[in-house]
Amino acid sequence: MKLRSAWRWVLALMFLTHPIGVFGDISLPSLLSSGVVLQRNTAVNLWGQADPGEVITVHTTFTDKKYRITASSAGRWIARLPTPEAGGPYTITLSGANIVTIRDVMIGDVWVCSGQSNIQMPVKPLGGYKGINNWQKELDSMSLPGVRLFNVPLRTASSPLRDSAGQWELSRPQSAATFSAIGALFARDAHLETRVPIGMIQAAWGGTRIQAWMSEPLLRRFQIPVTQSKSPAPHPPAPPPGPNEPAALYNSMISPLLPMTVKGILWYQGESNRYEPELYSKLFPAMIIDWRIRWKLDDMMFLFVQIAPYAYPNDRGETADLRQAQTEALKISNTAMVCTLDIGDAQDIHPQNKQEVARRLWAQAKYLMGESRIAANGPRAVAVHVQDHATVVVEFADTNQRLSVHGDELTGFEIAGQNGKFFPAQAWIQGRKVLLTSPEVTKPACVRYAWSAVPEASLFNQQGLPAEPFSLKVGD
């Protein structure tokens, strides 16, 4: 009896000092589970934990080769494998002290959709969300075995995490119903058009500011303090940071994704930063570059959505300024923006037409990938100058786009003189340009278009895409 009791103490001590599943076992993060989609035509990472110094053999049926790697002194290991053209399903087997098999592996394109509530908003009504237009009909089109969905659970952390809970699910009406509507619709459209397997990872949290999605080193560059939620022993653990604490969501929802090779990012965020547009104009481009560095993907596509029209109470121009701040990111290569001036809802901050947002994002992706020659954005003003003393000429980036008017006349244009006071302008299309005059302004100094929280969208191109809002000085 004494011997049996002693063994119980030994076993108890082993379980206390070695968590279950650690005894030399190879372990994988949640992202590398059965049903995963790996990025095609590149090199991808497999990573996880094992005993320090353990030799791990990796065999994949898509290469039919074996790769050997050794776990580090901390027990971490990473293998980099080439991937073929799109296809599947395949199997990955990892052998060491134990054998782990990842089944139903597809090779295709992997995307991450991130930001705040408008990209977190699910397909069907849920909580405070109304659901998207015709949500039941849309769900009927979501039975797509070639589309896989992974939802990163809502969680915060005071330091970067290496793993996140979650699992890959086949796109079905049940799984798509509560997934990001924009993410699920984008994945559906991309898969149906290309027949390439699509993996969509959702990492989004409503009502969050961009600071929460930025890494701590980047925040330090902007002298933004990061709350430390670590309590030294023997004090009890400090509570996790709130979702709007700087770096809190980068640490918990982005950091675990970084070893995953992805095609690009879909980003819809900015409403919660409306009152700091000047700062946002610096933080947003810096975050894009920082994510690319930390993902080790210099050319990772970054597609984002400009915030939609909404009648914010007491708006004093912050919404228009924030939209302008978002456009600063377009100076970075391999980025694209979707304008939503014509598909918003002045009475609902969560517009229900997410289908068109997803369609425009996919059109931008195709254009950046060189798979479409059709410009995926509406008219983008790049310069204004004066002719005949008081007539202002607005020039646009793509001179091949035909301009068109939606409605009876061009509206939403304003001109200001040297005093900075804006007046409505008479506007008309002349070829590929827009001409403006205002009897109140004899010496134009600045022009702006759609410059309000809920502007009138009247200028479009031949594809039916709205012109982007702008504010430009004469001579710019």
CATH code for the domain of 28: 2.60.40.10
Residue 198 makes CB contacts below 8 A (sequence gap 6+) with: 37, 108, 109, 110, 111, 146, 147, 148, 187, 190, 191
Within this chain, do residues 339 and 192 fall inside the same structural domain, yes or no?
yes
Q: Count H helices and E strands in the chain, helices first.
A: 10, 23
CATH code for the domain of 164: 3.40.50.1110
Residue 418 makes CB contacts below 8 A (sequence gap 6+) with: 443, 445
Domain with 387 in it: 381-473
Task: For residue 129, give both structure tokens.
Answer: 């969300």
Residue 145 makes CB contacts below 8 A (sequence gap 6+) with: 170, 171
User: Is 375 a domain residue?
Assistant: no
Within this chain, do residues 313 and 437 fall inside the same structural domain, yes or no?
no
Please list the alpha-helical segments (H only) found in 237-395.
Answer: 248-249, 277-295, 318-327, 354-369
Backbone angles phi, psi at 72, to 5 degrees: -75, 180
Within this chain, do residues 143 and 278 fall inside the same structural domain, yes or no?
yes
What is the identity of the amino acid at 60? T
Q: What is the pLDDT along the chain (476 residues), one digit of tens a residue?
A: 443 444 343 333 333 333 333 446 999 999 999 999 999 999 999 999 999 999 999 999 999 899 999 999 999 999 999 999 999 999 999 999 999 999 999 999 999 999 999 999 999 998 888 999 999 999 999 999 999 999 999 999 999 999 999 999 999 999 999 999 999 999 999 999 999 999 999 999 999 999 999 999 999 999 999 976 555 656 677 889 999 999 999 999 999 999 999 999 999 999 999 999 999 999 999 999 999 999 999 999 999 999 999 999 999 999 999 999 999 999 999 999 999 999 999 999 999 999 999 999 999 999 999 998 887 999 999 999 999 888 999 999 987 789 999 989 999 999 999 999 999 999 999 999 999 999 999 999 999 999 999 998 999 999 999 999 999 999 87
Backbone angles phi, psi at 361, to 5 degrees: -60, -45
User: Is 10 a domain residue?
Assistant: no
- Domains: count for the chain: 3
What is the identity of the amino acid at 310? Y
Within this chain, do residues 320 and 228 fall inside the same structural domain, yes or no?
yes
What would the pLDDT profile of 265-317 be if each residue is shown by its tens digit?
A: 999 999 999 999 999 999 999 999 999 999 999 999 999 999 999 999 999 99
End-to-end CA gap in the chain: 90
- The full length of the chain comes to 476
Within this chain, do residues 222 and 346 fall inside the same structural domain, yes or no?
yes
How many Cα atoms within 13 Å fall on the side-chain side of residue 411? 9
Q: What is the pTM of this model?
A: 0.93
User: Is 321 a domain residue?
Assistant: yes
Residue 398 makes CB contacts below 8 A (sequence gap 6+) with: 375, 379, 380
User: Is 16 a domain residue?
Assistant: no
